[in-house]
Structure 1
Amino acid sequence: MTRAKQTYRLPRWRFVVICLGLTALAATLVGRLILLQVTDGGQGAVFLREQGALRTVRTAEIPVYRGLIEDRNGTPLAVSSPVVSLWANPQQLKDSPRLDDLAARLSLDAAALRDKLRFYGDKQFMYLARHQTPEFARQVLRENFPGVRGEREYRRYYPAGEVTAQLLGLTNVDGHGIAGVELAFEDWLQGVPGKKRFIKDLHGDAVRDFGVTEEPRPGKALALSLDLRLQYAQHRELQRAMKETGAAAGSAITLDAWTGEVLAVSNYPVFNPNSREALDFSGARNRALTDAYEPGSTIKTLTLVAALESGQFHIDSIVDTAPGRIRVGAKMLHDPRDYGEISVSTVIEKSSQVGVTKIAQAVGHEAILDVLYRFGLGESTGTGFPGERAGQLPDLARWSDIEKVTLAFGYGLTATPIQLARAYAILANGGIRRPLTLLRQDPDALPAGQQVIQPEVARDVLEVLDRVTEQGGTATLAQVPGFSVGGKTGTVHKVGAGGYLDDQYVALFVGVAPMSAPRYVTAILIDQPRGDHYGGGLAAAPVYSRITEEVLRIRNAQPDQSELGALLAASGGRQ
Structure 2
Amino acid sequence: MRGERRGGMPRHLPVAPPLGNGRFYFILIVFCVVACILIGRITLLQVIDRPFLQSQGDARTLRHEAIPAHRGMITDRNGEPLAISTPVVTLWANPQELPEDGIQRVMLAQALGMSPDDFEARVELYSSREFMYLRRQMTPQAAQRILDLRTPGVYPQREYKRYYPAGEVAAQILGVTNVDDMGQEGLELSYQPFLAGHPGQRRVIKDRRGRLVRELGVIREAQPGGDLVLSIDQRIQYMAYRELRAAVAKHEADGGVLVMMDARTGEVLAMANLPSYNPNNRTGLDPRGLRNQALVDVFEPGSVMKPLAMAAILESGIVDRDAVVNTSPGWMRLDQFTIRDFRDYGELTLAGILEHSSNVGMSRLALQLSDTAIWEKYNQLGLGQSPGTGFPGETTGSLPAPVRWSRSERAALSYGYGLSVSAVQLASAFTALANGGMRLPPSLLRLSEPPQGLPAIEPAVANDLLNILETSVAAYTGGRRARVEGYRVGGKTGTVRKSGQGGYTTDAYRSVFAGIAPISDPRIVTVVMIDHPKAGEFYGGAVAAPVFSSVTGNALRLLDVPPDHEVDE
TM-score, normalised to structure 1, is: 0.88
2:21 is matched with none
Summarize the alignment of residues 106-121 of structure 1 with structure 2, pairs less than 5 Å apart.
106-121=112-127
AA aligned opposite 1:496: G
Residue 471 of structure 1, CA deviation: 2.6
Asked if the contact 1:96/1:146 (under 8 Å) is kept, the reply is: no
The superposition leaves residues 313-334 of structure 1 with CA deviations (integer Å, 9 ceiling, x where unpaired) of: 2332100111111110101111
Residue 398 of structure 1, CA deviation: 4.3
The superposition leaves residues 101-120 of structure 1 with CA deviations (integer Å, 9 ceiling, x where unpaired) of: 22221112433332322222
1:59 is matched with 64
Supply the distance in 2 between the matched residues of 1:478 and 1:109 (Cα, whole angstroms). Answer: 58
1:347 correspondence with 2:353: yes
Distance 1:70 1:23, change over 3 A: same
SS of residue paired to 2:544: helix
Moved more, 466-475 or 94-103: 94-103
* Residue among 82, 86, 89 paired with 1:77: 82
Distance 1:398 1:21, change over 3 A: farther
Summarize the alignment of residues 493-508 of structure 1 with structure 2, pairs less than 5 Å apart.
493-508=497-512
SS of residue paired to 2:70: coil
Asked if the contact 1:273/1:279 (under 8 Å) is kept, the reply is: no
Supply the distance in 2 between the matched residues of 1:153 and 1:241 (Cα, whole angstroms). Answer: 41
Residue 204 of structure 1, CA deviation: 2.6
Moved segments of 4+, more than 6 Å: 26-30, 48-51
Residue 188 of structure 1, CA deviation: 1.6
Residue 434 of structure 1, CA deviation: 2.2
Supply the distance in 2 between the matched residues of 1:96 and 1:257 (Cα, whole angstroms). Answer: 70
AA aligned opposite 2:129: K
1:199 correspondence with 2:205: yes
* Larger Rg belongs to: 2
Asked if the contact 2:204/2:212 (under 8 Å) is kept, the reply is: yes
2:92 is matched with 87
Asked if the contact 2:302/2:416 (under 8 Å) is kept, the reply is: yes
SS of residue paired to 1:363: coil
Asked if the contact 2:440/2:453 (under 8 Å) is kept, the reply is: yes
1:297 is matched with 303
2:8 is matched with none
Supply the distance in 1 between the matched residues of 2:284 and 2:199 (Cα, whole angstroms). Answer: 30
SS of residue paired to 2:495: strand
* Residue among 528, 534, 557 paired with 1:524: 528
1:25 correspondence with 2:37: yes
AA aligned opposite 2:37: L
1:369 is matched with 375
Moved more, 139-148 or 272-281: 272-281
Residue 50 of structure 1, CA deviation: 13
* Residue among 260, 269, 274 paired with 2:275: 269
2:331 is matched with 325
* Residue among 253, 259, 271 paired with 1:253: 259
Supply the distance in 1 between the matched residues of 2:477 and 2:234 (Cα, whole angstroms). Answer: 33
Gaps of 5+ in 1: 1-12, 34-47, 568-575
Distance 1:237 1:91, change over 3 A: same
Residue 395 of structure 1, CA deviation: 2.7
1:456 correspondence with 2:460: yes
The superposition leaves residues 31-79 of structure 1 with CA deviations (integer Å, 9 ceiling, x where unpaired) of: xx9xxxxxxxxxxxxxx99984774432111011111111111111111
Asked if the contact 1:199/1:207 (under 8 Å) is kept, the reply is: yes
The superposition leaves residues 388-425 of structure 1 with CA deviations (integer Å, 9 ceiling, x where unpaired) of: 11111113314433222211111111100011100111
Supply the distance in 2 between the matched residues of 1:314 and 1:50 (Cα, whole angstroms). Answer: 88
Distance 1:399 1:363, change over 3 A: closer
The superposition leaves residues 335-385 of structure 1 with CA deviations (integer Å, 9 ceiling, x where unpaired) of: 121111111111111111110110110113400000110000011211111
SS of residue paired to 2:508: strand
1:286 is matched with 292
Moved more, 420-429 or 54-63: 54-63
Supply the distance in 1 between the matched residues of 2:422 and 2:100 (Cα, whole angstroms). Answer: 58
AA aligned opposite 2:477: G
Moved more, 205-214 or 415-424: 205-214
Summarize the alignment of residues 46-195 of structure 1 with structure 2, pairs less than 5 Å apart.
52=57, 55-93=60-98, 95-97=100-102, 98-195=104-201
SS of residue paired to 1:489: strand
Supply the distance in 2 between the matched residues of 1:113 and 1:256 (Cα, whole angstroms). Answer: 55
AA aligned opposite 2:557: R
Summarize the alignment of residues 370-385 of structure 1 with structure 2, pairs less than 5 Å apart.
370-385=376-391
* Residue among 531, 537, 541 paired with 2:541: 537
Residue 518 of structure 1, CA deviation: 1.2
2:344 is matched with 338
AA aligned opposite 1:544: F
Residue 472 of structure 1, CA deviation: 3.0
AA aligned opposite 1:92: E
SS of residue paired to 2:79: coil
* Residue among 468, 473, 487 paired with 1:483: 487
* Residue among 545, 553, 557 paired with 1:553: 557
SS of residue paired to 2:114: coil
2:13 is matched with none
Residue 24 of structure 1, CA deviation: 7.8
* Residue among 428, 431, 436 paired with 1:422: 428
Supply the distance in 2 between the matched residues of 1:315 and 1:271 (Cα, whole angstroms). Answer: 48
Asked if the contact 2:430/2:439 (under 8 Å) is kept, the reply is: no
Gaps of 5+ in 2: 1-24, 46-52
AA aligned opposite 1:361: L
1:401 correspondence with 2:407: yes
AA aligned opposite 1:74: G
Supply the distance in 1 between the matched residues of 2:247 and 2:406 (Cα, whole angstroms). Answer: 38
SS of residue paired to 1:327: strand
Supply the distance in 1 between the matched residues of 2:344 and 2:268 (Cα, whole angstroms). Answer: 41
The superposition leaves residues 99-155 of structure 1 with CA deviations (integer Å, 9 ceiling, x where unpaired) of: 232222111243333232222222222111111111111111001122111111111
The superposition leaves residues 447-491 of structure 1 with CA deviations (integer Å, 9 ceiling, x where unpaired) of: 322222211010011111111100332201100011111111111
Moved more, 369-378 or 51-60: 51-60
SS of residue paired to 1:182: helix
2:16 is matched with none
Moved more, 447-456 or 52-61: 52-61
Supply the distance in 2 between the matched residues of 1:305 and 1:132 (Cα, whole angstroms). Answer: 59
Moved more, 455-464 or 467-476: 467-476
AA aligned opposite 1:373: N
Distance 1:129 1:398, change over 3 A: farther
Supply the distance in 2 between the matched residues of 1:350 and 1:101 (Cα, whole angstroms). Answer: 74
Asked if the contact 1:462/1:486 (under 8 Å) is kept, the reply is: yes
Distance 1:346 1:471, change over 3 A: same
2:10 is matched with none
AA aligned opposite 1:155: K
Supply the distance in 2 between the matched residues of 1:50 and 1:263 (Cα, whole angstroms). Answer: 58
Residue 202 of structure 1, CA deviation: 3.5
Moved more, 204-213 or 53-62: 53-62
